[in-house]
Structures are given as C-alpha cells and as structure tokens.
Amino acid sequence: MIKGEEKKAPLLIFKKKHKRNNKMKKVLITIAIMLTVGMGVSLGQTVTDSWAFGFGFSYPRFSSVNVTSLNSNYGGYLSLQRNFSEHVGLRIKGSYLHIEGQWSDPFYNQITEKTGLITGDLDLLYYLVPCAPVSPYLYAGGGVNYKTISNGQTVYPDDNKFGTHLTVGTGAEFKLDPNWSIVAEFGYHWTNNSELDGTIIPAEINGRDTYLVLSAGVNMFFDKGKPS
C-alpha cells in the first residue's frame, strides 16, 4: 500500500464511525421525542373514578425490633382499589412477607429467626397531583396479620398468632396509558405487640415491633368513569 493511502485509511475509518455515531444520536433523539410526545398525550388521561387491580413484589425489613435485621427478605401482594375521585381512593391489599433477623444464644452462636407474615390491609389513599404523568400519593390505614415464627428466641405458648397493625406510607404512580400504571411504594407498619421478631425482652412493657416494606408493581384499571 502507498504511504499516502496508509494515512487516508484511518481518516476514512474515523469519518465512517463519526457518521454512524451521528446517525445513532439522531435516531435516539427521535425516539426520545416520540416517547415524550406520546407520554404527554396518553399519560394526561386521568378519569374521575375507576377500579384498579394491582399486583407486585415487596421487600420487607424489620425496623424497631429486638433482633438484628437481615437482608434475605422477600414478599408479594395483590390489591383491589376503588378511586372515588381523582384525589381519593380506598384500597384492599393482601400480602405475604418473609422477614429474617438474627440473635445470639448464650454461647454466642448466631441464630437466624424467620417470620412468615400474611397481612390484609384497608388503606385510604390521597393523590397529590392526580393529573400528572407521575402522581405522588400518601396513604394510611390498618389491618390484620397472621404470623408464623421459626427459631424465635422467646418460647411462646403458640408461635402462630393473629395480630393487628397500623400503616402510613407514600408512593408514586407512573401512568403508562389509560389502562395501566406502574406503582412504587414505601410503607411503615406498627404491630400491636412485640412478638413479630420472636423475641420479647423481660423488661419490655407494651412493646410494639415495627417493620417497613418497599414494593413495586402494576395497576390495571377497569370500569372507568369520564375523563377529568
């Protein structure tokens, strides 16, 4: 190959790559504009009232308890929600949560405690900006729970017990189209006693174990009212 051609070859390769990069940037910009315009059209469609069926995954974790919280937790939920207006909704939610903690015996052996929790909640939701593509909301409510405990530090007459809890939380709804949305949520739960983690301290009086739940899921809307 001639020396002049050797010098031109890298330049030609650079120019071709530069053109490809420019084309790719144009394509990405075009897609971004189309998505933005499409979202602006579809996401603004909020209705005056509706029903919604929801499902998703949860990550629970002990908060104020007598054991050390672990990370090997998981869960899931189903929900049915009635939106009475753009701002106010009432939700029934059923969940299963698996939560783990750790405690030490007199010989300093680390024992892993496991709590299985089945919950049923009734929550009131308030949407702060209901007509926005991303709609934040607050919620509060309460419910009942049924727990099973293995490797608890305290021996109870019966490890399988019913209980109650109060809940407050916040979340955000990302509207995909008039029929579907993605939901991300954080909830904080107070139980009615100190048995959730399988450990009761002798000096503890009127203790209330707490736990938190991060969740993400999907809502499917049906029986919708008029557009607002």
Q: Tokens 């509060």 identify what position?
A: 140
Q: What pLDDT digit, counting tens, does each position of 79-90 carry?
A: 999 999 999 999
Q: pTM for the full model?
A: 0.77
Amino acid, res. 65: V
* CATH 2.40.160.20 matches 47-222: yes
**pLDDT of amino acid 10:** 45
Q: DSSP states of 4-71 as a string?
A: HHHHHHHHHHHHHHHHHHHHHHHHHHHHHHHHHHHHHHHTT--BSSEEEEEEEEEEEEE-SSSSEE-S
Q: What pLDDT digit, counting tens, does each position of 18-72 carry?
A: 444 565 566 556 555 544 444 444 444 677 788 999 999 999 999 999 999 999 9
The domain spans of the chain are: 1-42, 47-222
The rounded distance, in Å, linking the Cα atoms of 149 and 83 is: 36
**Among candidate residues 207, 93, 78, the one with its CA nearest the CA of residue 144:** 93
The answer to whether the CB of 35 falls within 8 A of the CB of 42 is: no
Quick check: 126 pLDDT over 60?
yes
Please, what is the Cα angle at 134 between 80 and 63, to 5 degrees?
65
Q: What pLDDT digit, counting tens, does each position of 167-213 carry?
A: 999 999 999 988 999 999 999 999 998 889 888 877 776 788 999 99
Token readout for 67 is 């054991």
Confidence of residue 217 (pLDDT cuts 50, 70, 90): very high
Report the chain's mean pLDDT, rounded to a whole number: 83
**pLDDT of amino acid 145:** 96
Burial readout 70-84 (b: 16 or more C-beta within 10 A, e: otherwise) = eeebebebebebebe
